[in-house]
């Protein structure tokens, strides 16, 4: 009863709890937060010092007693306490301009396809502990498909490839459910690590995660785009331990990313092979939709189209497709009940 009363003064939210970034959608307001899923913790006092962008700025620069941590690995919670505090931080920040002292929002969370019952309960518990009065869990590719405007409730089949930070999820959607799917841990973070390893192997250069990520977005591509692109890459030279800068080009970074791109392409083809022929015909006609940050890798859509012989398009604003889809469910009660995972929506 108290939760329902407090809920009248709270704002219902949808959260895309990602390995790399967390995005928050508020009912009637749209996307209000887009922060890295990073938390800085003082190990002496066990207090959280920073969350999101301010915590990311501390990466690789902290003294021993301050630890910057990602509480989510491969899309699932690896540190329950830190995740709970991060969610509470987001909920409190959203309600800063309201009169409620104890926010009790209804919360929709996106979760990966391969999530176990234990991991699902951890997400629910984290949401409820952070102040949610109800927690609904929705599979991320289904939410992304809704965010991309695909007809998920119809008998027409659609294929979505959601390339996030920790996981790439390939799903064929029809009649409000997922028909066939594949989930793999080769995604944005793995591409960044590939660039770090390439720098070490080829240039004897030890580069940080932030540098490798910047190189990926500025120079990275999956095929030759015609105009050559170069940029400087700075790090520690392993031979003498001193700082060094090298110039890398798009061809070298393409070589570093080749294995990850091929893994994604092969799994897309394998998913199509498992899909019923009637739905394959729909996919051939309607094409494949790419969402998630990884969809922004230059030339990836053309590479997939060439390998599968199926039209490929990148979703409008692919980074926010999942949270926009989850946000749309805040006003579509019947669809939410149909597609939310079992055991969710428990009123505490």
Per-residue pLDDT tens digits for 172-216: 999 989 999 999 999 999 999 999 999 999 999 999 988 999 999
CB 87 within 8 A of CB 128: no
Tokens of 282: 């729909």
The pLDDT, as a whole number, for residue 102 is: 65
Q: Return the axis-axis angle of helices 250-274 and 209-219, rounded to nearest 10°.
A: 80
Question: How confident is the model over 296-308, as a mean pLDDT?
Answer: 95
Per-residue pLDDT tens digits for 13-48: 999 988 888 899 998 888 988 888 899 988 888 888
Per-residue pLDDT tens digits for 81-102: 888 888 888 888 887 766 556 6
Per-residue pLDDT tens digits for 52-70: 888 888 877 888 889 888 8
The pLDDT, as a whole number, for residue 343 is: 64
Least confident of 31-45, 184-198, 247-261, 305-319: 31-45
Q: Does the pLDDT value for residue 6 go beyond 80? A: no
Cα–Cα distance between 133 and 105 in angstroms, integer? 6
Q: How many CB atoms lie within 10 A of CB 47?
A: 10
Q: Tell me what the pLDDT averaged over the chain comes to.
A: 88
Q: Which domains does the chain have, with CATH numbers?
A: 2-38+74-143+322-339 (3.30.420.40), 151-186+263-319 (3.30.420.40), 188-256 (3.90.640.10)
Alpha-helical runs (H) found in the chain: 2-7, 53-56, 80-94, 117-129, 140-147, 188-203, 209-219, 250-274, 277-286, 300-308, 321-328, 333-339
């Amino acid at each position: 009863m108290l939760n329902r009363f407090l809920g009248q003064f709270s704002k219902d939210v949808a959260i895309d709890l990602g390995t790399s970034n967390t995005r928050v959608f508020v009912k009637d307001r749209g996307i209000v937060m887009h922060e890295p899923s990073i938390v800085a913790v003082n190990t002496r006092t066990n207090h959280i010092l920073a969350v999101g962008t301010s915590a990311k700025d501390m990466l690789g620069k902290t003294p021993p007693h301050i630890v910057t941590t990602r509480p989510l690995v491969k899309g699932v919670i690896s540190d329950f306490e830190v995740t709970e505090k991060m969610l509470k931080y987001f909920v409190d920040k959203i309600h800063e301009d309201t009169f409620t002292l104890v926010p009790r929002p209804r919360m929709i969370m996106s979760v990966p396809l391969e999530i176990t019952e234990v991991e699902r309960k951890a997400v629910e518990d984290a949401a409820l502990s952070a102040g949610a009065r109800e927690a609904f869990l929705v599979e991320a590719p289904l939410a992304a498909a809704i965010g991309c405007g695909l007809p998920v409730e119809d008998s027409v089949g659609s294929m979505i490839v959601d390339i996030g930070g920790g996981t790439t999820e390939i799903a064929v959607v029809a009649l409000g459910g997922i028909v066939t799917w594949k989930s793999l841990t080769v995604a944005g973070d793995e591409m960044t690590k590939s660039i770090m390893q390439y720098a070490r192997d080829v240039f004897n250069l030890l580069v940080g995660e932030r540098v490798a990520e910047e190189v990926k977005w500025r120079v990275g591509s999956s095929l030759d785009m015609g105009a050559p692109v170069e940029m400087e890459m700075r790090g520690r030279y392993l031979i003498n331990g001193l700082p060094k800068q090298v110039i890398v080009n798009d061809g070298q970074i393409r070589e570093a990313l080749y294995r990850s791109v091929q893994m994604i392409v092969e799994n897309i083809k394998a998913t199509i092979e498992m899909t019923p022929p009637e739905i394959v015909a729909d996919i051939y006609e309607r094409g494949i939709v790419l969402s998630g940050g990884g969809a922004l890798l230059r030339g990836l859509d053309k590479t997939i189209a060439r390998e599968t012989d199926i039209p490929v398009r990148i979703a409008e604003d692919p980074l926010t497709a999942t949270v926009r889809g989850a946000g749309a469910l805040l006003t579509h009660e019947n669809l939410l009940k149909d597609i939310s995972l079992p055991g969710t929506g428990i009123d505490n």
